Amino acid sequence: MFLFCSRFSSIVNPLRFAAKMRHAQPPTHARPPARSPSEADAADITARILLETESVLFRPEDPFTFTSGLRSPVYIDCRRLISFPRARKKLMDLAAALIERQTGFESLDAVAGGETAGIPFAAWIADRLSLPMLYVRKQPKGFGRNAQIEGELKEGARVLLVEDLASEGTSKLNFVRAIRQAGGRIEDAFVIFNYGIFPQIDTSLAAEGITLLALATWWDVAATAERLGRFGPGQYAAIESFLKNPEAWSKTRAAARR
């Protein structure tokens, strides 16, 4: 074993504007993203941690099957990270640095974790940023206050959504809309890991005015694993083929099993 709301102010925050422009380039799943040296270093550290904690699995000879039916030679479980204090501390330090670099230092009022995997990471990030913490349910709980958001969300509060990972972005949209319906403002979401191979997530989040921040992608993990000699013969080539075209790779493997 080895993981939206348009701006209404006429005043432009230069840090946030630069970040938006950097992330506004046409998305692609056929190559790894361009990064600054500090972001590349953070991605490499994150990839090493995911490998060391066995939070990522590579199994091209016996692919995993996602709920969507897609077959994949790779699988990630960020929930494992909560059991590794030193590793998670480093990741949260990297997360706080990325968030401050991309959003600014006084641009957020609260951090919200998405149910359930995002909750512990949101708590740790909120602590580092000295911000209140909330969490967002997938749906209202159905009794009592029938709340979907737990914690105190003030009207107009600028919220950062935190989850463990992002694949196609569906759950992010649900959480973003819940925050806005409750009176919050949200323009950014953070994940430890973004698959980085499904372009629709960039399109769907951008359509809602959301910038997705992430420490690492499958491209980073695969490159680091190859450099560290974690692959058997032919494994890296198979994984690279999947990353370049997940749907085609999945269809080929499904046909081979018939």
Which residue ranges make up each domain of the chain?
30-256
| Secondary-structure percent of the chain, ordered helix, strand, coil, rounded to 5 | 45, 20, 40
pLDDT tier, 26 (very low <50, low <70, confident <90, very high otherwise): very low
Q: Helix (H, G, I), strand (E, B), or coil: what is residue 245?
A: coil
Q: What is the pLDDT of residues 101-115, one digit of tens each?
A: 999 999 999 999 999
3-state SS class at 223? helix
Biggest CA–CA distance in the chain, Å, is 59
Mean pLDDT of 79-94: 98
Q: What is the pTM of this model?
A: 0.85
| pLDDT tier, 224 (very low <50, low <70, confident <90, very high otherwise) | very high
pLDDT, the chain, mean: 88
Q: What is the pLDDT of residue 33?
A: 67
Q: Residue 231: in which H helix or E strand, if any?
A: none
Confidence of residue 179 (pLDDT cuts 50, 70, 90): very high
pLDDT at 189: 97
The confidence score (pLDDT) of residue 66 equals 87
Q: What is the CATH number of domain 30-256?
A: 3.40.50.2020
- For the four alpha carbons of 143, 146, 149 and 154, in that order, the dihedral sign comes to negative
Asked whether 155 and 177 are in contact (CB, 8 A), the reply is no
DSSP state, 139?
S
List pLDDT tens digits, range 226-243.
999 999 899 999 999 999
